[in-house]
Chain A
């Protein structure tokens, strides 16, 4: 241990997926403090409680220090595996031999399971699965936190993974339950500062949420809403905007959307007989023309016309007529939001949009639309995810506030590269039918447009069959349980698992365990958490303060405006005990299984490594050499990891045409999702052919939004009278931080984190007092959980809420598994096809429950 050492080391946090820039204070070889790095444009020196507490993760005595193997052949959620320490040599030999055998049999039998929290490191095992020959990888966070439908529309409308309001210019933010800038969501601390600045500047922030959340309590207005009905509210607002107030940006809709496209009575575009392109109606020539006809004078946005003997109505007209079904008075009954409030919010939104106004920034005159509508898991984590999300997105589109100053911005939709190197670089472009093709990370994920072919899926996530699915898939454990039913010619026999506590983050833990326990599981983990109860071998992983990551940024980690800023996650201390980074372990396994050269060639393609940075066959590269080549390929020879270790961050100003890219890109975005209809028909036909039509509900594949209630609205037993839902707090990350003593202390101080929140009046009617123990029974699973009640006026009277994923039961997490550390919401969530939104493969989190007072835990 160096004596007299006193240094601050730049790196990047990994306590959640924000990846904030940090500076780590190391004294005499030990980390003593972590702060936000003020040099970073992303975090602006801010850091959340989780980031500050990272050193307690590093030095947690419950961490694993040696490879372990199971001695108890019986597997179960709470069955002690009987761990026995083994050498790294034995562990790697066992894993490699099994993998070689599996690859020879059928490589598809491998599943890589990972977590978004360590995204930049979990990519590596997923790439390994790919080169191994398996299409199966899964982020188990699908259940609790994946944006699914939000990501789909992020691609189609914003060329982005997610969105943020333009805090520099936005004046009115309608926020449907997103903890944006208040502890979760993307770019947490940086957005906290930006939201605070926007509020001080005068931005009005209206939060629509069943819970007076940490976000809502700091807003101008909290509008309580019945869980799962956000889409209905958006439909009523669309109706008012289009049909009563008649406030919409006609110029934007004509130029930048498919609003003028003519739709036949069959629901499909009317197409030009010669070119096959969608037709629009030219008011000047009084005839139909392809949407990109050079001689068009004026497209008509509304109306009905006759083309080739067929009736054609514009997409905008169909939308406008369709939302007439949702008057505020009716929607008030669905949402419990008073009709007068719906009228007022819509009027405020319409007024704030300033349609027709412009602003000049850096010499560019641009549309100025200072309003945004934001939503994420809460609004769309339902059976009707696709349709909810569609309605919410269209509010922003109707007023033209998409990717222009003041509006809703795709989070880093466009990058024109470092001024010297021109890298990294991505830009949305025009695709078939004139519509937007997403860039950024999308091409390497599962881009959704142009539509993928609908084929029998060869992967457990069913993405081959569902072309609209983009995020984590709810189908993986369901198909794993019954592969033959889905015509999979194989089953999962080997799980390569890293960092995801899937029994606690994805629906009914018993059913999840049932799907996994037949496979040989190798877990690279920090702790012996609940997921490792199903493991056969556990490898001790390094935490983010002990490892070098492939990179420390992704498209959703940079701030939406200001400057580009790239970071490095470097080891601040040497790995403790016998811990090894999963990335280095994967490289070693690739060597032992004879896959090294293939792995290099895949890395070259995935990371765009070309000569002289490409990894060459027949060579052996260290992990550090690979990461260094990745950085130098992006930023030039002089800016390898040595440069980043010294300087910490690389930043440069964002251009106007990057942040407010919409006026600079020719592509249109859909407000009528014609291809969803076709995809739905194709999926329905295929499901019929495969004999799985009973579980593949295609009713939501609609081109326009509708209101469809969740299955929980069918629950008629009177004692199941509350909707249970899950929310996130700024002092825990999913299930992964409950053994951290600092965060535990903060969670105890906070009145809500470890409690079940119930409306005061509702609780009194049930004879429940503040602090009483309550039992919650799920109508859908029959399972129950217990925790103390916290009575509050700040929750909808028909709802109860639970924070994050507490209620651990692993005896190897001595702090997290103590009583009164929250409860595990997943026991309430069913794992079945009825609760999956098929177009987006989203798990429905809308659960009806019975709550009653009980004596003690």
Chain B
């Protein structure tokens, strides 16, 4: 039973709700996107949780997660962060400000 080391970078306005541009997390090898975000939520508290999750617990649509260079589909909270045997993962979390306007 090993570990998965996850290097998380926060970009743009995401940094307004965390205390550092990067953080290292150690998760279980089969950790999912949901595990990562909840772990970050525990670390950074309600302000992070409210920005990242909608009222029903789903991922806010303007939050984007990129894992090892590939964008994770927003609804796929169950997506595994790493392939079998992989020990390190780089993840980037983005919160986009409201771009709308007619």
Contacts and interface: CB of A to CB of B under 8 A. Distances in A.
B98 interface: yes
Nearest to A556: B102
A453 B53 contact: yes
A142 B66 CA distance: 33
Point out which of A123, A162, A446, A458 has the most chain B C-beta atoms below 10 A from its C-beta: A446
B69 A601 contact: no
B68 to A, nearest CB: 10
Contacts, number: 128
Given A146-B101, A452-B60, A131 B75 contact: no
A133 interface: yes
A455 interface: yes
Contacts of A142: 101-102
Contacts of B47: 455
A452 B16 contact: no
A450 interface: yes
A445 B100 contact: yes
Interface string B86-102: 00000010101111111
B32 interface: no
Interface string B1-36: 000000001011101100000000000000000000
A146 B102 contact: yes
Given A450-B54, A472-B101, A135 B13 contact: yes
Most buried by A among B12, B55, B64, B71: B12
A139 B62 contact: no
Contact of B54 (A139, A147, A151, A452): A452
B54 A451 contact: yes
A821 to B, nearest CB: 26
A320 B83 CA distance: 54
B12 A138 contact: no
A604 B68 CA distance: 12
Nearest to A459: B97
A614 interface: yes
Contact of A458 (B16, B58, B102): B16
Interface string B46-59: 01001101111010
B61 interface: yes
B41 interface: no
Interface in A138-165: 138-139, 141-142, 145-148, 150-151, 161-162
Contact of B100 (A136, A151, A437, A610): A151
A130 B101 contact: no
B11 A602 contact: yes
A99 interface: no
Say which size band chain A's interface belongs to: 35 or more
B69 A139 contact: no
Contacts of B98: 135, 137, 445-446, 459, 461, 463
B101 A139 contact: yes
Contacts of A133: 12-13, 15-16
Contacts of A141: 101-102
B97 A129 contact: yes
Contacts of B69: 610-611, 614
A451 B54 CA distance: 6
Contacts of A598: 11-12
B50 A472 contact: no
Given A451-B55, A602-B11, A605-B71, A446 B16 contact: no
B16 A605 contact: no
A139 B69 CA distance: 31
B99 A137 contact: yes
Given A134-B13, A445-B62, A450-B58, A126 B97 contact: yes
A147 B101 CA distance: 8
A119 to B, nearest CB: 9
A455 B50 contact: yes
A429 B16 contact: no
Given A138-B101, A162-B102, 5 more contacts: A134-B97, A137-B99, A142-B101, A443-B74, A611-B69
Q: Sorted from nearest, which 10 A-B pairs have the closest CB atoms? A: A139-B101, A146-B102, A446-B98, A445-B100, A447-B61, A472-B101, A450-B54, A443-B61, A453-B50, A432-B56
5 contacts: A133-B12, A133-B13, A137-B99, A453-B51, A463-B98
